[in-house]
Structure 1
Amino acid sequence: MLAMTLVSPGSAQSSCGSVSCFVVIGSQQQVSPAGVLTVNLTYNYTPNGLPPDGANTIPYANQQTKQLILGNTPVSNLETLVQTAALDLNYGLTERFGLQVMLPYKSVQSVGQFGPGTVSSFNDQGLGDILGKVKYNLLPTLRSMLVLEMGVYFPTGTYQQAGPNGQYAESTLQLGRGAFGFQPSFYQTYEILPHRLNQFLQGSWRYTLRNPDGYQFGQEYALNLGFNIVTVPWLTLTEQINFRYKTKDNIEAALYQLVGPPVNRAVLIDGTITGRPVPTTNFTYAAFSTGILVNLWDFAQGYFMAQIPFYRDFNGNLQLDISYIGGLTKYFATPPLFSGGA
């Protein structure tokens, strides 16, 4: 017989997810010259909202109680805002080898209402997962660069933060993923017109291990193509096409189906605690990003970009809206640690 467990849709956490803006900033992707420390301070504003036709199949993925509840409740209101301030350090060990460390400070604000339930909210802020990279410039010339990277995400962000009801917030709203992640990537650039027009191509793949709560984020693939155009010596225009594809998350849980009024219960379908794909956590996304880079005298370089989506398939879940990123880049010359260009 099917077991039945009471569910309160108004307070339950659902897999509404949060997606972050991503653009290519050359000073972060390149290998710094030997002995040069490149410091980037960035701010990222990324709102996520419901698709125009609404949503009613967003599941409840509860990593604390090991339950995956397939939902069919109309969503009255649901939105997530992710803001990230990051300190990005890029140091050139030699002319070809470099190290990069990114320390993100995140703020997550989420509000939702499912069916006739009450409005619930979740807010958290703090250090996210730190990213470390080793870089190698495979093709250093006066006009080109091909950088191969290997990145590791360290599980420094909290991943068991509870909401007002005492239950863990869903994994996609946590500041960290709770497990190590690996991200090989590449960055290629070529000066079509020296000191006037350059082209770049960047791609990456991110794989995250399963965390102690039994939740594993889906694999993410990114490909970005763009141009930088120097108009006057102090002003550069940057235009990019950004593509991102993500597979479904996976949770170790029993499987339930939510039955609506007048029952308002979750019916057990399979009580086996095993890995299950979380519906609606996959997506395909493409956007056009445009912005400016301004030389602030001889002190630093400032930049601001807007990312405007033109294709979004979030499988009925929250989707990324127009996002913004701004920041400052500053270079510091130090004595090289190693001599030679190898």
Structure 2
Amino acid sequence: MWALSRRLLVAGLGIVTVAVGTVAPLPSAHAACGAVSCFVTIGSQQQVPQAGLLTMNFIYSYTPMNLPSGSTGLIAEADQIGRRIIPNHHNERSTYTNSFALDFNYGVTDRFGLQVTLPYMTRRHEHYHFHQGQNEDLSRFSDKGIGDIRLMAKYNVLASLKSMLVFGVGTELPTGDYRQTDNLGGVLEPAGQLGRGQFGLVGTMYQSYEILPHRLNQFVFASYRHTFKNNDGYQFGDEYIVNGGFNLVTLPWLVFTAQVNYRYMTHDSLSASIGSGPILDHGIPNTGSSWFGAAPGVLFNIGDTWQAYFYAQVPLYRDANNNLAQATSYTFGVTKYFQLFTPGA
């Protein structure tokens, strides 16, 4: 059972995180910018370990964002400080995110587990203010710090030698920055910050089936996130993720994996005015997106308690409503297993 469990650990989940924040009066905002993270599936994040087993993942992801073909990058500003939405306010250039995550999974029983994900990020963003048909005032933003901490409870409803079906429910805590300023002194919009500024609810499903014993298995992962409106009247759109793929064991220490990834995000909204209108809840133009891609990868079993893995996430279709979209991204990670106690011992 333990050997089978180790092979099934190849599957995968997405790191879908961005974080949340603090208070204090700050200057007016500049920018309707976007940022995302890699969301490949890493099975040791999604499964329920056997009772008494602690699984620790250290995951690094590099996620660049650029303009898809046919996009101009001319987007609206959502000024959460001044409660205004200003169409065609600036011209996007790029966003780069480095994400470092510690992910802990513990088997309370063979079916019930707890998961904690602690993200740390660095982010760089650039855009021009757009005025009278010209690019003016290059805005540069950078920040580093902790992101939203995710807490999950998971239950394996189908534990057998060949199959597993794990459902999870949890929350994202508002633990990261969401009011950091750029080089011009304005608050960068929440969509580009490390944090969301409010609690979120998360639901997940992970399914795996061993097609060829100890050789080939398939997996499917799906997740949903809803974030509530923060104190600035900004609400991130709901996020839907569906991943699926296969793991092929070629040698006891070498596993090849391939998956496809799909993410759909609805429009963000802000309690704001447009022009001289009243303050109402408005969907923010140029937010929301669809992304579909492939993620080939390789996993190495190192002894009995270590694994290492690498994924390249390649976009095949991107639609970001004229905004920046995730480009080819990379994820590296290591997994370490700790048997804290043996049931019945």
Q: What TM-score, normalized to structure 2?
A: 0.88
In 1, the alpha carbon distance for the partners of 2:207 and 2:170 equals: 17
In 2, the alpha carbon distance for the partners of 1:72 and 1:180 equals: 29
Which amino acid in the other structure matches residue 192 of structure 1? I
Which amino acid in the other structure matches residue 285 of structure 2? P
Match of 1:38, SS? strand
* 1:292-330 deviation per Cα after TM superposition (whole angstroms, max 9, x unaligned): 001123341000000001011111110110000010000
* Long gaps (5+) in structure 2: 1-27
Aligned partner of 1:78 in structure 2 is 93
- Displacement of 1:111 in angstroms is 1.1
- Displacement of 1:57 in angstroms is 3.9
Which amino acid in the other structure matches residue 246 of structure 2? F
* Preserved CA contact (<8 Å) 2:73 2:93: no
Instruction: Kindly tell me the number of residue pairs found equivalent between the two proteins.
Output: 314
- Displacement of 1:244 in angstroms is 0.7
Aligned partner of 1:231 in structure 2 is 250
* Long gaps (5+) in structure 1: 1-10, 257-267
In 2, the alpha carbon distance for the partners of 1:245 and 1:142 equals: 33
**How many percent identity over aligned positions?**
47
1:292-303 equivalence runs, <5 A: 292-303=298-309
- Displacement of 1:72 in angstroms is 6.3
2:221 corresponds to 1:202: yes
Match of 2:45, SS? helix
Aligned partner of 1:134 in structure 2 is 153
* Preserved CA contact (<8 Å) 2:51 2:108: yes
Aligned partner of 2:237 in structure 1 is 218
Q: What TM-score, normalized to structure 1?
A: 0.88
- Displacement of 1:182 in angstroms is 0.5
* Preserved CA contact (<8 Å) 1:94 1:339: no
Aligned partner of 1:263 in structure 2 is none
* Preserved CA contact (<8 Å) 1:200 1:226: yes
In 1, the alpha carbon distance for the partners of 2:344 and 2:190 equals: 46
1:310-321 equivalence runs, <5 A: 310-321=316-327
1:136-215 equivalence runs, <5 A: 136-215=155-234
Pairwise CA RMSD of aligned residues? 1.7
Q: Identify the match of residue 334 of structure 1 among 320, 340, 343.
A: 340
1:209-288 equivalence runs, <5 A: 209-256=228-275, 268=276, 270=277, 272-288=278-294
Aligned partner of 1:103 in structure 2 is 118
Which amino acid in the other structure matches residue 46 of structure 1? T
Match of 1:27, SS? helix
Which amino acid in the other structure matches residue 114 of structure 2? L
Which amino acid in the other structure matches residue 158 of structure 1? D
Moved over 4 A (4+): none
Which amino acid in the other structure matches residue 329 of structure 1? T
- Displacement of 1:82 in angstroms is 1.0
Aligned partner of 1:3 in structure 2 is none
2:42 corresponds to 1:25: yes
- Displacement of 1:22 in angstroms is 0.4
Which amino acid in the other structure matches residue 326 of structure 1? F
- Displacement of 1:151 in angstroms is 1.9
Q: Which has the larger radius of gyration?
A: 1
Which amino acid in the other structure matches residue 339 of structure 2? A
Q: Identify the match of residue 102 of structure 2 among 87, 112, 117.
A: 87
Aligned partner of 2:54 in structure 1 is 37
- Displacement of 1:214 in angstroms is 0.6
In 2, the alpha carbon distance for the partners of 1:297 and 1:222 equals: 33
In 2, the alpha carbon distance for the partners of 1:13 and 1:51 equals: 22
In 1, the alpha carbon distance for the partners of 2:153 and 2:29 equals: 41
Aligned partner of 1:259 in structure 2 is none
* Preserved CA contact (<8 Å) 2:29 2:188: no
In 1, the alpha carbon distance for the partners of 2:59 and 2:210 equals: 25
In 1, the alpha carbon distance for the partners of 2:308 and 2:269 equals: 39
* 1:109-164 deviation per Cα after TM superposition (whole angstroms, max 9, x unaligned): 00112433032200000000000000000000011100010020000111111222
Which amino acid in the other structure matches residue 314 of structure 1? A
- Displacement of 1:335 in angstroms is 1.8
Aligned partner of 2:127 in structure 1 is 112
2:315 corresponds to 1:309: yes
